[in-house]
Structure 1
């Protein structure tokens, strides 16, 4: 059922590419802010979340804002490294990868809750009461480059002596948090893990049946998502982008709608040092050499 998932994702992204254009040419760089995001949710959901934010940034910056959809996490890192993306929504691990690849990617802001982010282990198996009960069963992560859907859950399992490839009968990667929930609910995997924010949104919107799927465990907190700019972006523009995010005011109805789509109460400043623990975790479980 899922062998053609990548092809389907590419087809889903085609309308977004037609709507927002492809990578801007070098001649457009000074007039257009090129924005991308890790594809941790369905393409249509990413577009829905970005559209009003993009309009707000255009107003605040006085320039065109172009959204560039991608099919995998690595493409966002490559976009920043090759100067084809100026601003990107990254997970903590993707930021570490971008920082290591470019040497100068700069995290500007994060949501307040990204200082204390968590992942949810979920299952539809009523016999499973703990992670240890999953021995010999199938398990699904999100993308292998996902902080909350792969790296940090793997890191915390490792600290409990659980090595996924030998502990579970099968390990799979769904590619996105909402897909992980769908896999577990449909019985394609006995259990899985996804970020707490997406889980809460799926529950609130009725897109997951909590009479079938339940939270088995929650990870300890860690730093996660941020908005990052390429290191050689004009510092004045980078500061304007940061200010635009910091000025989003939840008491302003228009701003509140933007913040809600970003699952944010507000944005706060962040720094590369906040993600050192993510890099350390990635090295400890062998996802970074």
Structure 2
């Protein structure tokens, strides 16, 4: 009997250990060039592996909706979401939580940019945009679609399809800049961080494309963790993960986001995004 009990206890311990050694996976919305994203988030995976003492793997996705689907289906347990995609994902997986955001994400903003042929100068006043061609970023982007559409309709008093001659969706912020710079679209909406970083790196020809308006601030990107991680990876795992994200101090790693640091976040921080999304009909 004693031997049987010992064997049973040993098997139970083995199964418990196996259950807690599952690879921890995460993804991120594809808001920029894919190769840059892979470089950035594979570094994050290495950092988290060391901090959490589990194997951590970054899984790239092709679209914002794919990131949300992977989170919903438990293909990933953590995601770097935008404000809107985070709200959508947490709505699909009750109990999931925003746990960290970039310091800058507390007061994020969008730029409207224009081809040099457009006769509009940068001003605090909202520009007249009637009958221009216009591109958003991804259809699910907070800074490249949701908030710009809200501000445009709020300031001009009519839906965007009654304002612009033609509307496109570039897919990500880097392509928005390229398309407006090339004159494919006359005006576009872009994440200010992507623009500022691209300008600093000399990747934008500012003689061909310019900023014409800067939005008010709003909450944006955040790390959202799926409910149930403590059951899958051990008691206290969510707290350990949160501390690891907020404790990310490597300057090169932070610069790849780019963020100066990560700070605590909670679901209620994103209630303004949810209200705007409901107001313009992007979520029920």
TM value normalised by structure 1: 0.86
How far the C-alpha of 1:30 sits from its partner, in A, is 3.4
Tell which deviates more after alignment, 132-141 or 178-187.
132-141
Change in CA separation of 1:83 and 1:29 when aligned onto 2, cut-off 3 Å: farther
Change in CA separation of 1:28 and 1:173 when aligned onto 2, cut-off 3 Å: farther
Deviations 1:136-189 (A, max 9, x none): 110000011100000011111121114211100011000100000000011110
Q: Does 1:127 align with 2:129?
A: no
Runs of 4+ in 1 over 2 A off after TM superposition: 27-31, 128-134
> Is the Cα–Cα contact under 8 Å of residues 128 and 134 in structure 1 kept in the other structure?
no
Aligned counterpart, 1:195: 191
Aligned counterpart, 1:46: 37
> Is the Cα–Cα contact under 8 Å of residues 24 and 77 in structure 2 kept in the other structure?
yes
How far the C-alpha of 1:83 sits from its partner, in A, is 0.9
The 3-state SS of whatever aligns with 1:240 is: helix
Aligned counterpart, 1:261: 256
What 5-or-longer segments of structure 2 have no aligned partner? 1-17
Aligned counterpart, 1:12: none
Q: Does 1:117 align with 2:114?
A: no
How far the C-alpha of 1:101 sits from its partner, in A, is 1.4
Aligned counterpart, 1:106: 97
What 5-or-longer segments of structure 1 have no aligned partner? 1-26, 250-254
- Please provide the CA RMSD for this pair: 1.5
The 3-state SS of whatever aligns with 2:236 is: helix
Aligned length: 258
Aligned counterpart, 1:243: 243
Query: Which has more radius of gyration?
Result: 2
The 3-state SS of whatever aligns with 1:58 is: helix
Distance 1:39 1:126 in 2: 29
> Is the Cα–Cα contact under 8 Å of residues 109 and 269 in structure 1 kept in the other structure?
yes
TM value normalised by structure 2: 0.87
Distance 2:19 2:212 in 1: 49
Q: Does 1:233 align with 2:235?
A: no
> Is the Cα–Cα contact under 8 Å of residues 150 and 193 in structure 1 kept in the other structure?
yes
* Residues 112-191 of structure 1 aligned to structure 2 (within 5 Å): 112-124=103-115, 125-129=117-121, 132-160=127-155, 161-191=157-187
> Is the Cα–Cα contact under 8 Å of residues 127 and 213 in structure 2 kept in the other structure?
no
Choose from 201, 205, 209 the match for 2:205.
Answer: 209
Distance 2:237 2:189 in 1: 37
